[in-house]
């Protein structure tokens, strides 16, 4: 079975500053990794995913995440955040067969003016 | 149409009431999911339907009864709920239960009095 750890429950950051949201996983098999974002009072939206291939994946709104197998990490980064990035961010993992889909506890990103 | 819709957006019910939550998608997805999300927590999987058959029931109490009338619709029937069942109920779909990318609806905010 897989598990996911997000070490930071809250991350406050000033607008236009860089941010990194940490995600670590454990699994006995190879994994697929995801970042979902949840804006206040909304459902979850897929931000980006790693299935195979290049270990660096990017989203259309400037976020990127890098899969690091040796460190079992999939940290999310953005070089310059906006107020509108304020949301809850969930890292998730599944096995390659689409089973055992597990969410991490979430990190609340608060972008301050 | 690339979205999952859920109705109602908000629901308040007493412990003796019977109500239903509805979820709909027209993306041709063959797997549909119900999640429960408490405040400041990640979503917890409740049920998975694959090709209109219940494939996963995560030990959910019988006061929650899922139904999949066809490949586009997913219902969650509620009866004799408890106040601790108050939560955001999220529906999701994916092309199949072997596909890892889940598309989420906006959720139904349920309050049990």
A24-80, pLDDT tens digit by residue? 999 888 889 999 999 988 889 999 999 888 899 999 889 999 999 999 999 999 999
Other beta carbons within 10 angstroms of residue B28's beta carbon come to 10
Closest chain A residue to B91, measured at CA: A43
With bands split at pLDDT 50, 70 and 90, how would you rate the model's confidence at B83? very high
Residues of A in contact with B6 (CB under 8 A): 43
Residue A99 predicted with pLDDT over 80: no
Nearest to A16 by CA among A85, A72, A76: A85
What share of chain B has pLDDT > 90, as a percent? 72
Q: What is the pLDDT of residue A43?
A: 87
Q: What is the pLDDT of residue B50?
A: 87
Q: What is the pLDDT of residue A2?
A: 81
* A41, A99, A103: residue with CB nearest B42: A103
What average pLDDT does the segment B70-93 reach? 95
Residue A111 predicted with pLDDT over 80: yes
Residue B70 predicted with pLDDT over 80: yes
Residue B2 predicted with pLDDT over 70: no
* B94, B101, B104: residue with CB nearest A43: B104
Q: What is the pLDDT of residue A98?
A: 67
A67 touches chain B (CB under 8 A): no
Residues 6+ apart with CB under 8 A from A95: A2, A27, A29, A30, A31, A32
Residues of A in contact with B97 (CB under 8 A): 98-99
Q: What is the pLDDT of residue B99?
A: 67
């Amino acid at each position: 079975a897989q598990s996911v750890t997000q070490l930071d429950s809250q991350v406050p950051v000033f607008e236009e500053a860089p941010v990194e949201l940490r995600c670590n996983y454990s699994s006995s098999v190879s994994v697929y990794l995801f970042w979902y974002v949840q804006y206040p009072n909304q459902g979850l939206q897929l931000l980006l995913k790693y299935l195979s291939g290049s270990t660096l994946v990017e989203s259309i709104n400037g976020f990127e995440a890098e899969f690091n197998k040796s460190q079992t990490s999939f940290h999310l980064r953005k070089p310059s955040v906006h107020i509108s990035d304020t949301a809850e961010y969930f890292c998730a993992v599944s096995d390659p067969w689409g089973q055992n889909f597990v969410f991490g506890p979430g990190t609340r990103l608060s972008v301050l003016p | 149409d690339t979205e999952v819709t859920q109705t109602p957006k908000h629901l308040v019910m007493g412990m003796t009431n019977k109500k239903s939550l509805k979820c709909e998608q027209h993306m041709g997805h063959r797997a549909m999911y119900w999640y429960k999300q408490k405040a400041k927590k990640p979503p917890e999987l409740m049920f998975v339907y694959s090709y209109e058959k219940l494939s996963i029931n995560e030990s959910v109490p019988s006061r929650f009864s899922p139904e999949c009338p066809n490949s586009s619709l997913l219902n969650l029937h509620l009866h004799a709920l408890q106040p601790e069942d108050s939560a955001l109920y999220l529906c999701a779909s994916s092309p199949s239960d072997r596909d890892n990318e889940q598309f989420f609806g906006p959720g139904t905010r349920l309050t049990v009095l």
